[in-house]
Amino acid sequence: MSKPSTIVAVPAEDVGLLERLRAGDDDAFTDLVARNTGRLLAVARRMLREEHEAQDAVQEAFVSAFRALASFEGQCLLSTWLHRIAVNACLMRLRRRERRPEESIDDLLPACEADGRTAEWFLPWDDAILERLERDETRALVRAAIDRLPGSYRTALLLRDIEEMDSADAARLLGITPNALKIRVHRARQALRTLLDPLVARPAARAA
């Protein structure tokens, strides 16, 4: 039995805006840009890390969206549709960048004993620590730590944990299998923990 499709409740203002866009209303496109530029620019800045590239990617996303209006079926919110287009624009820019050998992530992963056990481990992060990571003053440190991850791991982590895309969509955009994505994200999270732990907790000695 086929799984029933999910019906998205589209706000009336989205319906009206889409009708105006398809009718060629120039003011409608201006409204679309005004409503979504800030959010899309934040996405592009996280992924590309360079202001001029982020702005160019957002501009490309709006142009792509305008060209694809006829094919938009309204099965998701306009904002969700634009988000996907912006992520695609950022990924295309990342792929076009000069290819360089990617740094290994191994040095950032927990060391293991010969029998496979973790050689060093850290005290669990309590709720107070997690709250600290949400504060403005530590958000920049988290951002800097993510930026230190090798590119493929950083992008996978951003798509899953920051942009909150599901595994299937993120894997498709990256051209890898969902399982490969899960492995990449898991390793990225381990590496990020290694980078952040000195800032929020002290390594614990292994229990006897």
> d(Cα 56, Cα 89) in Å, to the nearest integer?
9
What predicted TM-score, i.e. pTM, was given to this entire model? 0.70
Question: Could you tell me which of 145, 183, 180, 179 has the C-alpha nearest to residue 162?
Answer: 145
Domains and CATH numbers, the chain: 12-96 (1.10.1740.10), 106-204 (1.10.10.10)
Burial (CB count <10 Å: 0-12, 13-18, 19+), residue 191:
buried
pLDDT of residue 89: 95
- Helices 78-96 and 167-174 pack at an angle, to 10 degrees, of 30
- Render each residue's pLDDT in the chain as its tens digit; 208 residues: 434 444 456 677 778 888 888 888 889 889 999 999 999 999 999 999 899 999 999 999 999 999 998 888 777 888 999 999 999 999 999 988 756 555 666 666 665 555 555 545 455 555 555 555 556 556 778 888 899 898 899 999 999 988 999 999 999 999 999 999 999 999 999 998 888 887 765 444 444 4
Classified as helix, coil or strand, 8 is coil
> d(Cα 165, Cα 156) in Å, to the nearest integer?
10
